[in-house]
Amino acid sequence: MSGLEPMIKKWADKKGYLIQIHYKGSIDMMRMMKDGAGTVADAFWPAHTIWFILGDTRHAVKNKRSIMVSPIVAGLKTSVVKKLGWDKQSPNMAAFLTAAQKNKFKYGKTSSTQSNSGALFHLAAWWAFAGKPDSWTMDLVKDPQIQARVKEMESTVAATSGSSGWLKSKIVNGADKLDGMINYEAMISEANIGWNTIDKSTGKNVHHPGLLEKDQEPLHVVYLSDATMMADHPLGYVDKGNGQKEKIFNALQNYLLSPDAQKKMISKGRRNKLLAMDPSLADKKAFNPEYGFDVEKVIAPIQPPREEVLTAILDLYQEAVRKPSATFWVIDDSGSMYNNNGKTAVQQAMSTLLTPEKAREYKLQPTPRDIHVVIPFSDTPGSPIRAQGNDPAILLTLMDKINRMHLGSGTDMYAGVVAALTYIKQHQEDIKGHFPAIAVLSDGQSKGSINDVRQAVKRLGLEDIPIFTLSFGAEADERQLKELAASFGGRYFSGHHRVADAFRKMKGYN
């Protein structure tokens, strides 16, 4: 969605309207909707109607209209697609699964509970393996054979993410790591041709070059023949009795549905209708047929399940079906964390994950195979604390140990990361079949050098372990934390204002 912000801002500036766009994940939007008219948002623009089904339980969101559509597809390197013959005939879900199991390609997919593209693909797989039923029922959710097939599919995912846009960037910036991704058709297009965003600090447009501009192999679109969910991007207004805001909303919605705006969105790889598009409207750069884009293809999207079934499927994904995670929590327990309320913030953030009812609320529930390893650090790393599974007693014990940690003294987060990498190398057999990731929780005021981490990664052969970082405290050294995440395939999250929210977003990437 960020790729459309420059277009919206330009229109708003011309009209003299002040429109603020805040990017939230699907789960966050769903939770905000539950506040009804009491929510801070004046409008919601989720990627799919399912988030209104789950979140708008008070029916406070009015005038919901689909602005654009984009099918969920596979985007794989052109050479891979041609080798498999999928440039000539679209595979079904079973054929896609078989090829992935045979390691014909490595692909990424977003979390099915934290990102819309992942959720829609997960529903499409469930529907296909159920035999394309006429309607969704709880019997389909409870069927162990369907669960097993979907679990097989999830086990083939090589990399995960909490954001469709971030996954796109990961593909473009690390084209040698993965062969492709499951994502919106529009994200495949942007990965190839590049995209624009607005720099929040300067207000200027920033161009992000795509694979073609980087002289990298482009992605080829693969439409699965028996299972396609379509992101319908509905925009809805929260009626709080403010006539001026409603006037601006209606003007924005009408603009986005106007021929001029629709043409601009089509130029950015978005479709303007559910089934086949008028080929004369299609931008040949965004929908390049050389890379498999087919605007005349009739795409009949799967209808989403009702709330009860949808909730059950997503909970089952989170608790049992998804590929388990192995998270190595490198937690700052130095003296500065006791002076800036960082210690308390860490405890509150970890309790969100380790308290079953809180985890379920945010759809962060662990599976029986999830692994947590906490490595506290000050000027030197402390002893690792390990826990596995989703037994509440085990999670409570881990939380108690986190609460009782007390190292104090100086700060060397780089030594903590090296300790985590060493632990991973020593326990590689334990984490096979998991998504491994290092998560650094710190104020970033660290001595030591990032070169220590680079040398350890190279020495241990752990180049594929992403490192995510989260800052604590108003005086956090963001520079160090941003550099650490950017250097090792992760993402930086700022906990300056709302640590718990930033923590939940970070966990969604693993």
Give per-residue pLDDT as tens, 20-39: 999 887 888 988 999 999 99
Please report the pLDDT score of residue 209 as a whole number. 94
**Do 349 and 483 reside in the same domain of the chain?**
yes
CA atoms within 13 A on the CB side of 209: 9
Query: What confidence score (pLDDT) does residue 391 get?
Result: 95
Alpha-helix runs per DSSP H in 257-411: 259-267, 307-316, 335-339, 342-354, 356-361, 392-404
Does 221 share its domain with 237?
no
φ and ψ of 83, to 5 deg: -65, -35
pLDDT for the residue 127: 95
Greater pLDDT, 452 or 349: 452
Residues ≥6 apart with Cβ < 8 Å to 176: none
User: How many whole angstroms separate alpha carbon 334 and alpha carbon 446?
Assistant: 10
The answer to whether residues 157 and 44 belong to one domain is: no
CATH number of the domain residue 373 falls in: 3.40.50.410
Residue 473 confidence (pLDDT) = 67
Same domain flag for 351 and 341 = yes
User: Looking at the 3D structure of the chain, how many domains does it have?
Assistant: 3
Predicted confidence (pLDDT) at residue 276 exceeds the cutoff of 80: no
Say whether both 337 and 351 belong to one domain. Answer: yes
226 lies in the same domain as 353: no
Q: What is the mean pLDDT of residues 464-481?
A: 86
Kindly state the tokens that stand for 281.
């409207």
pLDDT digits (tens, 9 = 90+) for 287-314: 899 999 998 887 777 888 999 999 999 9
Q: In which domain, by residue range, is 414 found?
A: 324-507
Residue at 75 is within a domain:
yes
pLDDT of residue 383: 95
Residue with tokens 């209209």: 65
Percent of the chain exceeding pLDDT 70 equals 97
Report pLDDT for 275: 52
Does residue 116 share a domain with residue 86? yes
Predicted pLDDT at 271: 82
Please name which of 355, 359, 357, 337 lies closest in space to residue 440, comparing C-alpha atoms.
337
**296 lies in some domain:** no
User: Do 98 and 12 belong together in one domain?
Assistant: no
In a domain, 317, yes or no: no
- Per-residue confidence (pLDDT) for residue 1, from 0 to 100: 64
What token pair was written down for 51? Answer: 């988030």
- Same domain for 371 and 257? no
Residue at 287 is within a domain: no
Closest CA to 353 of 439, 232, 457, 226: 439
In a domain, 133, yes or no: yes
SS3 234: strand
Beta pairing class for 467-471 and 435-442 = parallel
Verify that 51 and 90 share a domain, yes or no.
Answer: no
Give the pLDDT score at 328: 97
% of the chain beyond a pLDDT of 90: 69
In a domain, 288, yes or no: no
Q: Is the pLDDT of residue 500 over 80?
A: no
Whether residue 238 is found in the same domain as residue 206? no
Confidence of residue 158 (pLDDT cuts 50, 70, 90): very high
Q: Is residue 337 part of a domain?
A: yes
Last residue of a domain, one of 240, 256, 274: 274
Q: What is the DSSP string of 134-165?
A: SS--HHHHH-HHHHHHHHHHHHT--EEES-HH
Structural domain ending residue among the three candidates 230, 261, 284: 230
The residue with greater pLDDT, 418 or 202, is 418
CATH number of 263's domain: 3.40.190.10
Question: In this predicted model, what pLDDT tens digit does every residue of 56-112 receive, in sequence order?
Answer: 999 999 999 999 888 999 999 999 999 999 999 999 999 999 999 999 999 999 999
Both 163 and 269 in a single domain? Answer: no
**Which range in 16-30, 316-330, 437-451, 487-501 is most confidently predicted, on average pLDDT?**
316-330
| Structural domain includes residue 395 | yes
- The pLDDT of residue 346: 87
> Nearest 10 degrees: CA dihedral of 101, 48, 297, 252?
-140
pLDDT tens digits along 360-379: 888 889 999 999 999 999 99
Of all residues in the chain, what percent are helix, strand and coil, respectively (each to 5)? 45, 15, 40
Is pLDDT of 268 > 80?
Answer: no
